[in-house]
Amino acid sequence: MRFKIFNKCIIGLVLYVISCYAVATEGLFLEGFGAISRGMGGTAASHYVGPASMMVNPATMGLSDTTGEVLLGFDLITTDISATNLGTGEKVSSSTHSHNRGPYVAPQIAFTSKVSNWTFGAGMFAQAGVGVEYGESSFLSRGDIGETGYAAGADTGLENASRLFILDIPLAASFKVNDDLSVGATLDAKWTGLNLDYLFGSKQLGSLIGDGRASGSLLGLVGTLPDPRGVHISVSKNKEVSSGVDGWGYSGRLGMAYKVTPKTNLGISYMFKSKMNDLKGNGTVTAVDGIVGNIPIEGQVRVLDFNSPAKLDVGVSHQFTDKFLVALDLSRVFWKDALKDIKVGFASDAGDVDLKLPQNAKDQTIVAIGASYAATQNLTLRAGYRQATQPFNDEGLLALIPAVLKRHATLGISYQVSKSGRFDAAYSRAFEHSMTNQSDFNTSSAVRSSIAQDNFVFGYTHSF
């Protein structure tokens, strides 16, 4: 049974990682970077969206009319998340009790500078960030008995919560080849932080053991507890940024912007799959037993190959009049290559366990359209819509985590407060989406998870 503890712990973290992929709006990417792009449905491949252009197509940095800009802003992410036990009808909604799980505030800081035909830039943006807080008294905190699932177990008083944050720090450059063509590239440092508190029932654990998805020296301790009810993993820090497990890595982008006609631009960019170091941190695994009680074990958790997928963006924009611009982006996110398996390890003085959990995610397609209208000399209005396919199967999600959002509607505004200063703001509504998980590997009872989001972006840009 000790094997169960660690095995399930590992499973917990692994599956949680999957859940993180699912929660962060369209996976591991926010639905647009910067208020200009966000207000136009996240489009940014073919038109200039301020210094945040470096987060999609760095070649478009050269489309700016200024010699340089500085952006200071932030994302405000709010979520409406719930989980429903389809066996009992019980429902729990995420709240904001603790662990800084929402609303989420994330930075948008960048600058660009032109030198002859070159434009250079650097920035710091939240690539993704979200989490849930289900507390300590819902059906998710109930240990189970054998095949009976959540309904038969006793309350454990153990927390179920999560938080994911990915920070992207790009160094960017673009070069104006001629009046029609610009090219660009970025080299990005990435930091990922993950918090997790999750209880896995014995039914889940039994399914994983039976399928041979775990290995390690702790496997010999199986069956040592008299009345196992589940395993709880806690890898969390109650800090604004610090996380239970974290790690650094890198990625990069290549981009091209081409003026097809005097009023029509074509843009193409490709972001490479990230190369992340293992996420590491200290954690506690607690075995829940109906007779012995809770048995905590301290150790180190590793999340291996936690990479952002490669992404291709193709866009076209057309300036219908001096005041009216329309943009269309088509994106392909290559999840299949990035998320075939989730690999997690747990090591302690008592031994170790490694888990390899297949996910078989599908590549994702995203279509976005946006428009902007210069209502006055100082005021610009924006609107947009984007829709994505679902890269994950229902069986690949945890009860703790909802589905990947598929539909966003957006609004935005810019106001020129001075000759060199501009205030930008945008709002995006992610419409509710639900998925149902009935896989024994990921849940002790069929659970439907639902999510909707209201996200805001505020920024001030100074031009020089």
Q: List pLDDT tens digits, range 16-49.
A: 333 333 344 566 788 899 999 999 999 999 999 9
Least confidently predicted of 205-219, 363-377, 419-433: 205-219
- Amino acid letter for position 415: Y
Q: Which of 14-28, 251-265, 385-399 has the highest mean pLDDT?
A: 251-265
Of the candidates 318, 323, 357, the one whose C-alpha atom is nearest the C-alpha of residue 340 is: 357
pLDDT at 399: 55
Q: 247 pLDDT exceeds 90?
A: yes
Q: Which residues pair with 363 in a beta bridge?
A: none
**What's the structural domain count of the chain?**
1
Rounded average pLDDT over 49-71? 96
Residue 226, preceding peptide bond in cis (omega within 30° of 0):
no
Residue 444 is predicted with a pLDDT of 59
3-class SS at 174?
strand
Averaged pLDDT for residues 150-169: 79
Q: How confident is the model at residue 14 (pLDDT cuts 50, 70, 90)?
A: very low
Going by their DSSP bridges, the two strands 293-304 and 341-348 should be labelled as antiparallel
| First-residue to last-residue Cα distance in the chain | 65
Distant-in-sequence, close-in-space partners of 445: CB < 8 Å, separation ≥ 6 = 85, 86, 87, 88, 144, 149, 150, 151, 203, 399
Q: What is the pLDDT of residue 392?
A: 77
pLDDT of residue 28: 75
Nearest partner of 458 among 40, 45, 106, judged by Cα: 106
The CATH number of the domain where 55 resides is what?
Answer: 2.40.160.60
Q: Distance (Å, rounded) from C-alpha 236 to C-alpha 198? A: 11
User: What does the pLDDT read at residue 438?
Assistant: 62
- The CA distance from 213 to 461, in Å, is 51
Q: What is the mean pLDDT of residues 281-289?
A: 84
To the nearest whole number, what is the mean pLDDT of the chain? 83
Can you give the pLDDT at residue 181? 98
**pTM metric for this prediction:** 0.86
Res 357 pLDDT > 80 = no
Q: What is the pLDDT of residue 49?
A: 97
* pLDDT bracket for residue 230 (50, 70, 90): confident
pLDDT at 226 over 60: yes
442-447: average pLDDT: 66
State the DSSP code for 208: H
Give the model's pLDDT for residue 19: 36
As a whole number, mean pLDDT of residues 358-374 equals: 90
Confidence check: pLDDT of 348 > 80: yes
Nearest-10 Cα torsion for 203, 204, 210, 214? -140
C-alpha–C-alpha distance, residues 43 and 128, integer Å = 17
Residue 198 confidence (pLDDT): 79
Cα separation, 383 vs 412, in Å, equals: 6
Per mean pLDDT, which range of 145-149, 167-171, 264-268, 445-449 is the poorest?
145-149
Reference 323, options 259, 372, 261, 383; nearest CA is 372
State the residue range of the domain holding 172: 2-463
CA 98 to the chain's CA centroid: 20
Torsion of CA 256, 257, 260, 265, to 10 degrees: 140
C-alpha span between 107 and 457 (Å, rounded): 10
Which is more confidently placed, 364 or 303? 364
